[in-house]
Structure 1
Amino acid sequence: MDSFEALIGKNINEVTLNESKFFFIAPLKYSTKLCGKRYPSDKFKLADLDYFNLISFSQLFKKESLLIVWYDETGLITDLEIYYLSNDFDILFKDYYIIKKAIDNGEAHKLREGDTRYLGASRLNEKVPQPNSDKLANKRELVLKKKYLQKIINEIRIKPY
């Protein structure tokens, strides 16, 4: 990975962000409202969701922090921050449990992102079998929701230019 200081001011497409064993590397695009407030443009994918071999919570969050590489609409990297997910493990675990319970009960086809607060089971278009049910369910991926990323932005208070 490029050195942290060297990333600021570069285009996100010009840098290589290698996986780290210590933290998730999260290149996150943000947009800016007219009032200057920033908000995330998308969710952050953590893992694919396999209904028949569900990743454990401890394995999903083996890395307890995010290195957030914030970039704007033009692709310019503007900020780097480290955020400790462990601060929110209680809520993330409750969300994980809701998703796991739906899968265990054969109701993965009924999951909605609105069922959880920070960790979401984001739907994909492909339908796949699910355990304990004859119904097909949309394939999904586990994501940190935009609402959670907004909470992170608000807590970090990224400085305006």
Structure 2
Amino acid sequence: MDSFEALVGKNIHDVVLDESETFFVAPVEYFYKNCGKRYPASKFKLSDLDYFNFIGFSELFKYESVLIIWHDSTGIITDLEFYYLSNDFDVLFKDYWYIKKAIDNGEAHKLREGDTTYLGASRLPEKVAQPNSDRLADRRELVLKKKYLQKILDEMGFKCR
């Protein structure tokens, strides 16, 4: 990975974003609206969701921290932030458990992102089999929701430009 200081001002597509042994890297685009307040442009994908081989919480969050590389719509990196996910493990685990329980009960087809707070099971446009049910469910991926990324942005203090 490029040195941290050298990343600011570069285009996100021109840098190497290797995973570290102690944190994972999350490039996140943001935009401005409402008197210059920053908002995340999208959710951040953590993992594909396999209904028959559900990833463990400790594997999904194998690192306590994330290096968030904030970039604008042109791809220019403007800020870097280490965020300690471990501060929110209680909420993330509650969300994880809710998703896992729905899948174990054969109700993956009923999952909605609005059912959870920070960790979401985002729908993809494909139907697949699910355990303990004859009903097909949307294929999904586990994501950090925009609401959670907004919480991190707000904690960083980026209110107006």
In structure 1, distance between residues paired with 2:92 and 2:33: 28
Per the alignment, residue 108 of structure 1 pairs with 108
Per the alignment, residue 58 of structure 1 pairs with 58
In structure 1, distance between residues paired with 2:46 and 2:157: 24
User: What code does the residue aligned with 2:77 have?
Assistant: I
Query: Is the counterpart of residue 146 in structure 1 residue 146 in structure 2?
Result: yes
Per the alignment, residue 128 of structure 1 pairs with 128
Q: 1:1-150 maps to which residues of 2 (within 5 A)?
A: 1-150=1-150
User: What code does the residue aligned with 2:104 have?
Assistant: D
In structure 2, distance between residues paired with 1:57 and 1:34: 36
In structure 2, distance between residues paired with 1:131 and 1:52: 6
Among all aligned residue pairs of Structure 1 and Structure 2, give the percentage whose two residues are the same amino acid: 74
Give unmatched runs, 5+ long, in structure 1.
Answer: none
Shift in Å at residue 16 of structure 1?
Answer: 1.2
In structure 2, distance between residues paired with 1:125 and 1:117: 22
Q: Say if 2:106 and 2:133, in contact at 8 Å, map to a contact too.
A: yes
3-state DSSP of counterpart to 1:80: strand
TM-score, normalisation: structure 1:
0.97
Q: Say if 2:122 and 2:140, in contact at 8 Å, map to a contact too.
A: yes
Shift in Å at residue 20 of structure 1?
Answer: 1.6
3-state DSSP of counterpart to 1:32: strand
User: What code does the residue aligned with 1:12 have?
Assistant: I
In structure 2, distance between residues paired with 1:64 and 1:75: 26
In structure 1, distance between residues paired with 2:8 and 2:151: 23
Shift in Å at residue 106 of structure 1?
Answer: 0.1
3-state DSSP of counterpart to 1:46: strand
In structure 1, distance between residues paired with 2:105 and 2:150: 31
TM-score, normalisation: structure 2:
0.97
Shift in Å at residue 66 of structure 1?
Answer: 0.9
In structure 1, distance between residues paired with 2:160 and 2:125: 38
Give unmatched runs, 5+ long, in structure 2.
Answer: none
- The CA RMSD over aligned residues, in Å, is 1.1
Shift in Å at residue 125 of structure 1?
Answer: 0.6
Per-residue CA distance 1:50-101 (angstroms, 9 max, x = gap): 1001011111111111100000111110000000000001100110011001
Moved over 6 A (4+): none
User: What code does the residue aligned with 2:50 have?
Assistant: D
